[in-house]
Homo-oligomer: A and B are copies of this chain.
Amino acid sequence: MKISVFRKEHFNAAHRLYNPQWSDERNDEVFGKCNNPNWHGHNYELVVKLTGIPDADTGYVYDMKKLSTLIKRHVTDKFDHRNLNLDVDEFKDLNPTAENIAITIYDLLRPNIDEAYELKVTLYETERNFVEYPA
């Protein structure tokens, strides 16, 4: 039977939620205080889940140090202490909602992890708001 392994990492970032094709009124109505043009920010907690078969020689599904390094290189080095809208290419034309950040993290990690592993990303924007991709 398969087994899943999880690694938790974190990054701190600023962002703003808005749709540039909408009026200010429409943006305020939909995104409320998240549409502050001067930005706000979060301590994001990221959990990456890989599902596969443990290796017979190591007893590991995946080396957690290797997974941590991979998340650091492809995700947290790019996102941590950044403005997601201004500093991260992926959000130049994509609203950095928790949903879109999780999908982007998945897309950044997927090509770097063997296809034999199922990949899932959970992202906590706050302790009370979080998302999981894919569902």
Contacts and interface: CB of A to CB of B under 8 A. Distances in A.
Interface of A: 1-10, 12-15, 17, 19, 22, 30-34, 36, 38-43, 51, 54, 57-61, 63-65, 80-83, 86-87, 94-100, 102-103, 118, 126-135
B3 A102 contact: yes
For the residues of A in contact with B, the DSSP-based class is mixed
A40 B12 contact: yes
Nearest to A1: B134
B97 A131 contact: no
A77 B94 CA distance: 28
Given A97-B59, A99-B61, A3 B133 contact: yes
Given A6-B129, A14-B14, A99-B3, A83 B36 contact: yes
Contacts of A2: 134-135
Contacts of A131: 3-6, 61
